[in-house]
Amino acid sequence: MNQAHLHLLVNHLPIVGSLFAAVLLGAGLLQRDASLTRAGLVAVLAAGLLCLPAQFTGAGAAAIVQDLPRVSRALIQTHAAAAELGFWVLEGAASLALFGLLLFKNASPKARLLAWAALAAAVLSFGLLARAGSLGGLIRHTEIREGFGTPDEL
């Protein structure tokens, strides 16, 4: 098993994880349920951790596929840039979630505010990571590229 295999195995985890975490956290906040909100914060933190393997295997996967036929280096670079942005936003959401959990433990009145910030960041990270995943699919799946164009199209 090489880096490309590993990347394909783990790259969906942060996308699905950030969506799940955002839904769980949003439900907890809207219902004003402290236990559900804490569970949502833990889920955001878990999604941030699940994003690490996808990020760490990306460069190795790119090195393996970049010289294959009909693989565009421009698409790889576009995907990598989008994934890095989504990664950092999700890591920011996870940091907010961690601080939110600490504030909940200390019964701070600012805990809910931090949970709302974590929710906003988780929703944003989901959108960014879903876009990165879509761009990643274009690298090897020529059938989903607009018009089946040249391998170097964006």
> Is there a domain that residue 51 lies in?
yes
Among 67-76, 81-90, 96-105, where is mean pLDDT lowest?
A: 67-76
> Is there a domain that residue 113 lies in?
yes
State the average pLDDT over residues 35-49: 97
> Is there a domain that residue 104 lies in?
yes
> Is there a domain that residue 76 lies in?
yes
Task: Please tell me the predicted confidence (pLDDT) of residue 147.
Answer: 59
Q: What is the mean pLDDT of the chain?
A: 91
**Is residue 80 within 8 Å of residue 87, measured between CB atoms?**
no
**Is residue 48 within 8 Å of residue 97, measured between CB atoms?**
yes
What are the tens digits of pLDDT across the range 103-148? 999 989 899 999 999 999 999 999 999 999 999 988 877 676 665 5
Among 16-20, 24-28, 67-71, where is mean pLDDT lowest?
A: 67-71
> Is there a domain that residue 153 lies in?
no
> Is there a domain that residue 154 lies in?
no
pLDDT more than 90, % of the chain:
69
Task: Please tell me the predicted confidence (pLDDT) of residue 149.
Answer: 54
Closest CA to 25 of 122, 103, 99, 105: 122
Task: Please tell me the predicted confidence (pLDDT) of residue 70.
Answer: 78
Closest CA to 50 of 76, 80, 86, 24: 86
> Is there a domain that residue 93 lies in?
yes
Task: Please tell me the predicted confidence (pLDDT) of residue 35.
Answer: 95
Please count the structural domains in the chain. 1
Task: Please tell me the predicted confidence (pLDDT) of residue 8.
Answer: 87
Could you identify the residue written with the tokens 């009145």? 109
> Is there a domain that residue 22 lies in?
yes
Give whichever of 49-58, 88-97, 105-114, 141-150 has the largest mean pLDDT. Answer: 88-97
Q: Say which CATH number the domain at 141 has.
A: 1.20.120
Q: What is the DSSP string of 39-79?
A: HHHHHHHHHHHHHHHHHHHHHHHHHHHTTSTT--HHHHHHH
Domain limits at 125?
3-148
